[in-house]
């Protein structure tokens, strides 16, 4: 008599499509043969994971259609069995999978769409934090600004997208036909964040993308202003830097400011 632990392990191996001796422990009696009995568990496992993928990637599912999305799900599950205690985190590798799996790799927008949807899910599930207001920034002594660093809301993310992925996502999410796939001349930077339990995203100009990256790396306000000199004349830099901070604060993305430690 096999132990319960061994039986469970053998059943798991079968469900995952691995060699298993579980069939020897299953009664071969009407109305179902052994293969059909075990197939119920295998089918349920795959179906639930495909359902979970569809919940995380609803726009990708809509673009592909249920049948093709199901085929994608089966191929992905075969390559990436679930290793998470929570099904919420299943499917993180889907964007990368789409870049190398035929025929999806021939349609790069699909991988970007998966990346956008996974990132939006991360944004929504990120920890919460109290945001700084524009008034709180205005109350800071002007003499302190040069050495200030900034802390951002845990939901803040940024992406580089080369295709018209965001317009496709917006159209399909709104129940409209998506535009034809179109690749831009260069990658466009997108900022994603959550405010008041809602996800938002928008594209960034080159100077804002650089300023945001610098701020996220802990650069000071003075260093950010110096960086903006690559795009702006000196007399326009203070207003642009202040405007960026105000926009980030109004969006709920700033949660803290601090004086940078003195450098020796």
Instruction: Tell me the C-alpha distance between 233 and 243, whole Å.
Output: 16
The predicted model scores a pTM of: 0.85
Residues 54 and 4 in one domain: yes
Instruction: For residue range 1-44, list pLDDT tens digits in order.
Output: 456 565 555 556 655 666 665 555 565 666 666 565 555 556 67
Residues 146 and 263 in one domain: yes
Q: What is the mean pLDDT of the chain?
A: 89
Residues 99 and 201 in one domain: no
Instruction: For residue range 48-79, list pLDDT tens digits in order.
Output: 899 999 999 999 999 999 999 999 999 999 89
SS3 content of the chain, % helix, strand, coil (to 5): 55, 15, 30
Is the Cα torsion angle 76, 77, 82, 86 positive or negative in sign? Answer: positive
Q: Which residue, 197, 72, 73, 34, is CA-closest to 131?
A: 197
The answer to whether residue 146 scores a pLDDT higher than 90 is: yes
The tokens describing 237, both together, are: 């830099």
pLDDT at position 85, please? Answer: 82
Residues 140 and 239 in one domain: yes
Q: Are 211 and 228 in contact (CB under 8 A)?
A: yes
Residues 209 and 156 in one domain: yes
Q: How many domains does the chain fold into?
A: 2
| Stretch 204-224: mean pLDDT | 97
pLDDT at position 47, please? Answer: 85
Residues 264 and 162 in one domain: yes
| Number of alpha carbons in the 13 Å side-chain half-sphere of residue 187 | 9
Task: Give the percent of the chain with pLDDT over 70.
Answer: 82
Query: Does 98 fall in a domain?
Result: yes
Which residues span the domain enclosing 190?
Answer: 128-264
Residues 182 and 89 in one domain: no
Residues 67 and 187 in one domain: no
Instruction: For residue range 92-105, list pLDDT tens digits in order.
Output: 999 999 999 999 99
pLDDT at position 132, please? Answer: 94
The tokens describing 233, both together, are: 């004349």
Q: How confident is the model at residue 202 (pLDDT cuts 50, 70, 90)?
A: very high
pLDDT at position 19, please? Answer: 66
Q: Which of 48, 75, 106 is the last residue of a domain?
A: 106
What does the DSSP assignment read for 88-99?
Answer: GGTTTTHHHHHH
Query: Does 133 fall in a domain?
Result: yes
Residues 172 and 42 in one domain: no
Residues 143 and 21 in one domain: no
| Stretch 103-126: mean pLDDT | 97
Q: Which of 54, 73, 106 is the last residue of a domain?
A: 106
Residues 138 and 245 in one domain: yes
Instruction: Tell me the C-alpha distance between 231 and 32, whole Å.
Output: 72
Residues 184 and 232 in one domain: yes
| Stretch 156-180: mean pLDDT | 96
Instruction: Tell me the C-alpha distance between 134 and 61, whole Å.
Output: 40
Query: Does 230 fall in a domain?
Result: yes
Q: How far is CA 238 from CA 107, 145, 148, 225, 264, in A?
A: 43, 11, 14, 7, 26
Query: Does 223 fall in a domain?
Result: yes
Query: Does 123 fall in a domain?
Result: no
Query: Does 65 fall in a domain?
Result: yes
């Amino acid at each position: 008599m096999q132990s319960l632990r061994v039986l469970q392990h053998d059943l798991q191996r079968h469900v995952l499509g691995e060699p298993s001796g579980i069939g020897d422990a299953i009664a071969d009696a009407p109305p179902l043969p052994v293969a059909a009995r075990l197939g119920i568990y295998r089918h349920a496992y795959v179906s639930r994971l495909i359902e979970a993928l569809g919940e995380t990637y609803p726009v990708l599912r809509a673009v592909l259609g249920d049948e093709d999305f199901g085929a994608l799900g089966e191929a992905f599950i075969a390559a990436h069995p679930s290793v998470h205690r929570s099904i919420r985190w299943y499917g993180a590798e889907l964007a990368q999978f789409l870049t190398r799996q035929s025929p999806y790799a021939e349609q790069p927008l699909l991988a970007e769409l998966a990346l956008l949807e996974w990132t939006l899910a991360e944004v929504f599930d990120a920890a919460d934090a109290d945001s700084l207001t524009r008034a709180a920034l205005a109350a800071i002594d002007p003499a302190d600004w040069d050495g200030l660093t900034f802390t951002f809301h845990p939901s803040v993310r940024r992406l580089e997208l080369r295709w018209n992925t965001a317009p496709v996502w917006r159209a399909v999410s709104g129940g409209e036909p998506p535009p034809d796939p179109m690749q831009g001349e260069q990658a466009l930077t997108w900022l994603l964040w959550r405010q008041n339990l809602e996800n938002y995203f928008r594209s960034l100009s080159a100077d804002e993308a650089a300023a945001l990256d610098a701020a996220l790396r802990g650069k000071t306000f003075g260093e950010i202003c110096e960086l903006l000199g690559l795009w702006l004349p000196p007399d326009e830099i203070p207003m642009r830097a202040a405007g960026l901070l105000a926009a980030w604060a109004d969006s709920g993305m700033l949660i803290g400011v601090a004086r940078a430690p003195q450098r020796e």
